[in-house]
Chain A
């Protein structure tokens, strides 16, 4: 850099200003410390002469105001501005400066380049600003001094920009007008195995019960609505569906209103028969926290006071002693700074709770670093694709509650997104129950294992085993009565009945000793039986846990009837009304409650999904178009630079 600061020259000029009376031409400043200097100078002003090497205090004492001539252009400009600013510019009656007057002041307008130059940039900085301005297509200083120069709307210079913009808009709009322009795959319906954060986050929220309270930091405004609204909507629906009461708080004033807007959208999606979410009963919108990080600190320190007042300044009726009483903390934030503030100011006071983080692409790296470094932080969920996967999981989990088709309407359960979702729609509800971890019951598992790959059942259907006829060495009961091959559970422990013939497949139901199931096949090596559950659902059970028999149809039906009448029937296969939920480091089983008295699955299921798929496809196409524009534009510029040669480039 041509304006690199020279300490040697600076120290010399400083000393010259001090006027120590040394002869001109003699080495001064730090130069005197260089090797080969014959004698040491007198650094101190006054009568005392230097008798040895100067100490740091001597040097400091020798410092004085620098001469104006020694200041570089940038410092001189700053000094002039500070002197000008110290003059009373505003009228006496005006307490604060009028921004409009400041921006329009002659001091600023007279600077070449307008306001930016008025902040006294160095020449190097000015060159960088000029380069940035040129890159984004703004008017350069060489093209004119004032910011008032109007570029013609249609000029040759603006043509590339217009073409790029038109291409992007066209490509992004295509998926919304026709399904022929679908490009790329939809996100999976479960989170990949290697992404523990989102999986743990889902499980933790799924483990909440209706007595729990969740503190929700709603820290984004309309600017990030396009990226985060879907995620916020799903997370809140998940919480509401379990009748957990969220306490929504924000250090962003407009986010408080926006949170209200998101909940209003959720209410809109409910049919008139469903109870609407009510403030003060189903959720609490707490008052705005002014002061950024300090406001969040107040939240953690004075939680009891803050939860007493709603966003409208009315009493909430909530009585909490401390932040620790929150079961979990959920943060939906758009910026890395807000995440940092929550981690630094709020989390230390929430012992025992975890901070679940959902954010956008911009703040994802920081959130990921936090999640990997701190056990108390879980996540992050980020972006629209994660939101899509979360929605699919939510639909699968709560779909198990619903035995009838959801109400048909314009906002409910739109058409399947693709052929794969068609096949998924054919699956019974119970098969959609998923788990994300090993079962809590430590059952002996078969040795056959599948590779630990993501197995979204929408896109990655279980491997179809070869069904081989079952060899039987037992005599058929009678010739007149149909015989049925069954397996009877012989294990004393509860056994898992799975969607496929491996231990990584989802658990559909549980079986207990004495339960009988009709056999319809087995896998290649006979280590798993394919069975038929009472509701006609096909499932798999490990062979070493059961004993195979052939019984008559009447015997099998009688066994089924007696089992249903006996006490053991209550703990028999819990199918179609059963969901299994596992939490991080705390596996728990939950018996599903019927919707009227327990969870509210309609909140998770009744939402408008009609635009989700076109939106994802528009994102894909838009990204491809952006890559095309960037590559094409840079190639043209690079070729042009090469053709013009190094001389033109240096200009």
Chain B
């Protein structure tokens, strides 16, 4: 029995892998060829052909969007069931969460367009978290040389001080602003472009690996 189950699982994995790779290949081909009549020259009907080839990618990507939206609903449902279970174990914060959820839904259903909860709860909480992050970064910045007293630590502190000082609108700090401008234009600009190139290359490599079956994050 267990052998049969194992064989069934193996078949299921192979099938899911096949479906995943096939869908990926169809989507990639559809994106490459679709909506690009220039690939087919000036032949009559090339536009229709390109549109037809673009259709699979459109349909599949729309399905993905629907699945993602559905996963949010499932996530909410799972969150609620989890905390209902915790509630039975006497977890106080689960009760708070469930009550807050119910109250928020009631509020938005009965008071359409009222964003008071967002203003009174969400914005202050997230702003406070951002402020705490700022304080933590400040504290960390003041201790860098205590933990890394080398050229890189010194460079880090120097750049941080230059960028911060240059962001202050004080006329006496004009030379520092020139340094900041150079930093932002050359190293930071180069980094930003390098990130774009790196992301593009990484996306291509990941896509190819997935299509070749080397990256099996799809349970294939």
Cα distance A134–B147 in the bound complex, in angstroms: 8
The 0/1 profile, CB within 8 Å of A marked 1, for residues 48-68 of chain B is: 000000000010011011001
Q: A365 and B139 in contact (CB under 8 A), knowing A225-B123, A634-B146, A641-B146?
A: no
Give the residues from 145 to 171 in chain A that come closer than 8 angstroms, CB to CB, to chain B: 160-161, 164-165, 168
Q: Name A629's contact: one of B68, B142, B149 (CB within 8 Å).
A: B142
Q: Give the total of B residues in contact with A, Cβ under 8 Å.
A: 59
Q: Name A290's contact: one of B65, B85, B143, B147 (CB within 8 Å).
A: B65
- A-side residues, CB < 8 A to B, are 94-96, 98-100, 131-132, 134-137, 160-161, 164-165, 168, 183-187, 221-226, 254, 257-258, 260-261, 264, 279, 289-292, 294-295, 297-298, 301-302, 312, 336, 340, 365-366, 368-369, 373, 385, 616, 620, 623-624, 626-627, 629-635, 637-638, 640-641, 649
Contact A629 B115 (CB under 8 A): no
Cα distance A160–B168 in the bound complex, in angstroms: 24
The 0/1 profile, CB within 8 Å of A marked 1, for residues 162-205 of chain B is: 00110111110000000000001000110111011001000000
Q: B141 — which chain A residues lie within 8 A by C-beta?
A: 626, 629-630, 633-634
* A contact patch SS: helix
Interface CB pairs A-B, < 8 A, 25: A100-B82, A135-B147, A136-B140, A137-B140, A222-B123, A224-B130, A225-B127, A254-B118, A257-B118, A290-B68, A294-B65, A297-B61, A368-B184, A368-B192, A369-B189, A627-B164, A630-B141, A630-B160, A630-B161, A637-B142, A637-B145, A637-B147, A638-B146, A641-B146, A641-B149
Whether B20 is near chain A, meaning CB under 8 Å from some CB there, is: no
Whether B86 is near chain A, meaning CB under 8 Å from some CB there, is: yes
Q: A132 — which chain B residues lie within 8 A by C-beta?
A: 140
Most buried by A among B61, B139, B168: B139
Give the residues from 68 to 120 in chain B that come closer than 8 angstroms, CB to CB, to chain A: 68-69, 72, 74, 78, 81-82, 85-86, 112-113, 115, 118-119
Q: A301 — which chain B residues lie within 8 A by C-beta?
A: 58, 61
Q: Name A165's contact: one of B78, B135, B184, B195 (CB within 8 Å).
A: B135
Contact B149 A623 (CB under 8 A): no
Cβ of B122 to closest chain A Cβ, rounded Å: 5
Contact B199 A627 (CB under 8 A): no
Contact A629 B85 (CB under 8 A): no
Q: Name A634's contact: one of B72, B136, B157, B184 (CB within 8 Å).
A: B157
Contact B118 A627 (CB under 8 A): no
Q: B130 — which chain A residues lie within 8 A by C-beta?
A: 223-224, 226
Q: Name A631's contact: one of B143, B161, B171 (CB within 8 Å).
A: B161
Cα distance A649–B184 in the bound complex, in angstroms: 33
Cα distance A257–B118 in the bound complex, in angstroms: 8
- B-side residues, CB < 8 A to A, are 58, 61-62, 64-65, 68-69, 72, 74, 78, 81-82, 85-86, 112-113, 115, 118-119, 122-123, 125-127, 129-130, 135-136, 138-149, 157, 160-161, 164-165, 167-171, 184, 188-189, 191-193, 195-196, 199
Contact A620 B170 (CB under 8 A): yes
Contact B164 A623 (CB under 8 A): yes
Further 15 A-B residue pairs, CB within 8 A, beyond A135-B140, A297-B61: A99-B82, A134-B143, A135-B144, A161-B139, A165-B139, A184-B168, A187-B169, A294-B64, A336-B192, A365-B192, A620-B170, A627-B164, A630-B157, A634-B144, A638-B145
Chain B residue nearest in CB terms to A257? B118
Cα distance A626–B191 in the bound complex, in angstroms: 25
Contact A222 B139 (CB under 8 A): no
Cα distance A296–B168 in the bound complex, in angstroms: 37
Q: B160 — which chain A residues lie within 8 A by C-beta?
A: 630
Contact B113 A291 (CB under 8 A): no
Contact B170 A184 (CB under 8 A): yes
Cβ of A220 to closest chain B Cβ, rounded Å: 11
Cα distance A96–B73 in the bound complex, in angstroms: 13
Cα distance A340–B115 in the bound complex, in angstroms: 29
The 7 closest A-B CB pairs, nearest first, are: A633-B142, A637-B146, A291-B68, A290-B69, A222-B126, A184-B169, A222-B123
Contact B78 A96 (CB under 8 A): yes
Q: B118 — which chain A residues lie within 8 A by C-beta?
A: 222, 254, 257-258, 261
Cα distance A302–B65 in the bound complex, in angstroms: 12
Q: B143 — which chain A residues lie within 8 A by C-beta?
A: 134-135, 137, 633-634, 637
Most buried by B among A96, A226, A366, A627: A627
Cα distance A187–B170 in the bound complex, in angstroms: 11
Q: Name A254's contact: one of B61, B85, B122, B168 (CB within 8 Å).
A: B122
Cα distance A186–B170 in the bound complex, in angstroms: 9
Cα distance A94–B72 in the bound complex, in angstroms: 17
Q: A634 and B142 in contact (CB under 8 A), knowing A134-B147, A184-B168, A223-B129?
A: yes
Q: A624 and B168 in contact (CB under 8 A), knowing A137-B139, A637-B146?
A: yes
Cα distance A289–B87 in the bound complex, in angstroms: 33
Cα distance A354–B126 in the bound complex, in angstroms: 32
Q: A298 — which chain B residues lie within 8 A by C-beta?
A: 61-62, 65
Q: A221 — which chain B residues lie within 8 A by C-beta?
A: 126
Q: A168 — which chain B residues lie within 8 A by C-beta?
A: 135, 138
